[in-house]
Structure 1
Amino acid sequence: MEIQTGEGQLQINFTTKQIQYAVSDTPYSVAANISTDELNTLVGTLLKESGSRKTVQFDFLVLGEFLRSRLGNHLKEREISFEDTIEIEYVEKCPPPEPQDCLFHDDWVASVHTMDKWILTGCYDYSINIWTTKGKHVLTVSGHSAPVKAVAWVSINDKTGVFVSASQDQSALIWEWNIEENSAKCVVACKGHERSVESANVSPSAELFATGSWDTLLKIWSAGKIDKVVKELTPFRF
């Protein structure tokens, strides 16, 4: 059949959950190889005929899947019958995200973690940086002897922030940030991995955190009740 080769006509009708953009559910005959741009033009024309003055771009779904190719190809790939009227749902297209700020570093950024209004970044220049979510740089923290591969907040309040960093130097460090003085110090050094520590994640209770390393091991550490004196921790054994 012509229609199976991308030619000929298909019967479609439009539906939407956004009632401000609703058009008649009358079936329309369209080319089987109609594109999303052409569907947008058709819906836009129907909206203008109904009195709408707003120009809107839409995404289209067929049986719950977004239409990213020509309609006929989409149907054939999913073995959807060409004989029935095809219901096409449309939703207002969301614009792609645009960057609001750029947080410049001197080398590659390996890790990012946010909590409340604060951002942590771990960098290949061995540093950890603290930023506001508005893009303002607050503090650079040094202490690792190799690229920082992971950072994670443990807790934060008006006066103090606690965070974890992990590095290719085979260590994970727990830091305490004095917000009023804007200074950070390492309060715990977690040693036990034999290769680069690539990841770190804190438990919901903020009492434990886990690290993953190229030594093929996951280790679990205590993150709570931090003493003020720098100390070394060994991982829990179960």
Structure 2
Amino acid sequence: MVDIQNDPHFQVKFLAKDLKDCSLPEGYISIPSSATARNLNDLINSAAEQAIDDWKQVSFDFLIGGILFRGNLADFVVDNNIPQESVIEIECIFRQPPPEPDQDIPHEDWVSGVKVTTDRIFSITYGGELSAFSHDGKTLGTNDLVSQPLKCLDVFTLDGDCCVVVGCQDQTLTLSRVEQSGKKVNFVPLQNFRGHERSVECVAAKKDGTRIVSGGFDSLLKVWTTESNTRTEFSKSNTESGKRRKTDIATKTPMVTLQSHRDAIVDVEWHPLQPKQVVTASMDFNIIAWDLELAGFVTRLHAARAFTSISMNPENGLIISGSTDNKVRLWDLNSQEGSLVKETYHGHNGWVTDVHWSPKNTNQFVSGGLDQTVKMWDIRSPKAPLYDITGHRERVLTVDWSFQGLIASGSADSTLKTFKTQ
């Protein structure tokens, strides 16, 4: 660490709540105000090397007052209103390794949706294709469902089977069963859902697969049932052609239609902690939490910008949102004090098109934007992302982090890219 003689110093104390087998400097230490996270890393590793014979260099991040330390101490203290005469407690945590580029999977058209499961990657395109790939990028199956753009998808389990539901610009949704056939998969359409008056923009299946909710440019939220005692069989000619005509399968109308938004519903999610509630985001600047049992909304959050996407934290229900500006925002539906916007994250250079929480780490999420980048974030670092994930040559349309080991993104450059995470 470089120590400038005239550089003001701060008294600090290092803490390690979750670190094992790491020896930290003891007591209070005087640190120059110009110190950066890299300087603190050198200090911690040096202390550990002296105390532990077989110590290997480790990269750390540092929390001060629950905020990830970036820049230098002097600026950080000023920006976060930390009393300069106080002892600054610095918590050491292991740094999240950067995502590593993995697969680059070309498509025939813009990739509008992607979902990663434990053993497969599913994608949809503006050309109407639904596809499945292995994690190592091998094509497992493709079905040309329609001739119009597919706009949204969800993957879930129904009666022990893997199923995919997709929403289309032609105002319909299609539910298909994923059937394994050797090393390949086939998509077998089971049900159509009709009732939207304009393009279907978002869809989400309940955890048990019995209900599906969807929203679209008609500003309507619709609830559908997947339960059925009969399934219509395909004729032999239709099956062999690889084209599934929607007239060959049962068509359903919605159980319930809910209206309160005044513009397109662009995203919908089941509330992870309230199984009877869903949450929608709209171009009308509103997020609404709905109670499906009461058939009405329970909470409305109003913003200054139109929404493009939301994601709900599976552990605590916090919401991150993308909007028609360059910021990601953190919301708390249950907040009783102050602003419902708990934090704003800066880093994109255009609209934020999609967001997704980490499935395991309640502090981390990813976002994609019109600036052609995917970004990994920590909610404790609002001024800069952890990492910029680059590679797309056109705007990013969709991101997914449903499976802890892979981040996936789809773009208007007609590629699906995956990145390995730890």
The alignment's TM-score, normalised by the length of structure 2, stands at: 0.51
- Cα offset for 1:40? 1.4
Runs of 4+ residues deviating >4 angstroms: none
CA displacement, residues 40-71 of structure 1 (integer Å, 9 cap, x when unaligned):
12222222332444112211111222101211
Query: Would the alpha carbon gap of residues 137 and 226 (structure 1) be closer, same or farther in structure 2, given more than 3 Å must change?
Result: farther
CA displacement, residues 176-225 of structure 1 (integer Å, 9 cap, x when unaligned):
33323743332322111121101111112211101110110111111122
The alignment partner of 1:129 has SS state of: strand
Larger radius of gyration: 1
Partner amino acid for 2:148?
A
Match of 2:224 among 217, 221, 224: 221
CA displacement, residues 109-132 of structure 1 (integer Å, 9 cap, x when unaligned):
211224442332111221000123
Match of 1:131 among 116, 130, 133: 133
Partner amino acid for 1:25?
E
The alignment partner of 1:235 has SS state of: coil
The number of aligned residues is: 232
Task: Determine the structure 1 residue equivalent to 2:212.
Answer: 209
Partner amino acid for 2:147?
S
Query: Would the alpha carbon gap of residues 83 and 154 (structure 1) be closer, same or farther in structure 2, given more than 3 Å must change?
Result: closer
Instruction: Tell whether the 8 Å contact from 1:178 to 1:184 is kept in structure 2 after alignment.
Output: yes
In structure 2, runs of 5+ residues without a counterpart are: 1-5, 233-248, 257-294, 296-422
Instruction: Tell whether the 8 Å contact from 1:188 to 1:226 is kept in structure 2 after alignment.
Output: no
Aligned: 1:102 with 2:76: no
In structure 1, runs of 5+ residues without a counterpart are: 1-5
Task: Determine the structure 2 residue equivalent to 1:170.
Answer: 171
Query: Would the alpha carbon gap of residues 43 and 114 (structure 1) be closer, same or farther in structure 2, given more than 3 Å must change?
Result: closer
Partner amino acid for 1:57?
S
Of residues 207-216 and 90-99 in structure 1, the stretch that sits farther from structure 2 once superposed is: 90-99
CA distance in 1, matches of 2:91, 2:156: 44
Match of 1:195 among 188, 195, 198: 198
Instruction: Tell whether the 8 Å contact from 2:158 to 2:209 is kept in structure 1 after alignment.
Output: no
CA distance in 1, matches of 2:43, 2:177: 59
Q: Percent identity?
A: 25
Q: Please identify which structure carries the higher strand content.
A: 2
Task: Determine the structure 2 residue equivalent to 1:8.
Answer: 8
Q: Please identify which structure carries the higher helix content.
A: 1
Aligned: 1:75 with 2:77: yes
Partner amino acid for 1:88?
I
CA displacement, residues 152-171 of structure 1 (integer Å, 9 cap, x when unaligned):
2242688x543211111211
